[in-house]
Amino acid sequence: MTKDSEHLDLAKLQRRLAEFAAARNWQPYHTPKNLVAALSVEASELVEIFQWLTPEESARVMADPDTAHRVTDEVADVLAYLLQLCEVLGIDPLAALDAKIDRNERRFPVPGDCEARPGDCEARPGDCEA
C-alpha cells in the first residue's frame, strides 16, 4: 500500500467518479449496459498486455516501468468502471465480495474439511475424503 492510498476508501472513490461524470454531464451514458460494455473493453485491454507472455514473463510484468505503468492504468480503468457499475446498481462491492467468499468457502472447503452432508461440497472428487 502506498502512502497516498492509506487514506482512500471505495465510497470516497465512488463519489469522486460520480462527481467527475456529473461535472461532464455523462450520467445519461452511464447505464448498466454501457458500464458493463466499458468494463469488458478495459478488462480486454488488460488481457492484451499479458496475452502472449509466458507464465514466467507475466510474473515479472511489473519489473518493466513502461509495462507496469500500462498494467496499473488498465487495472485502474477496470476498477473505475466496476465501481461505477456498482454505484448505478446499488451494489456494495465489499459486501458482495465478502458474501461471495463466504459462499465459495462453503462450496469449496479445504480438502478433508467437508461436512458429512453429501451434495454440500462442490469440490473435486477426492477432495472431501478424510
Please report the pLDDT score of residue 116 as a whole number.
47
What local confidence, expressed as pLDDT, does residue 117 receive?
A: 46
Is-contact 81 35, C-beta < 8 A? yes
Instruction: Count CB atoms within 10 A of the CB of residue 34.
Output: 16
In degrees and rounded to multiples of 5, residue 112 shows phi and psi of 90, -10
pLDDT digits (tens, 9 = 90+) for 67-124: 999 999 999 999 999 999 999 999 999 999 999 999 999 999 998 876 544 555 565 5
Predicted TM-score (pTM) of this structure: 0.80
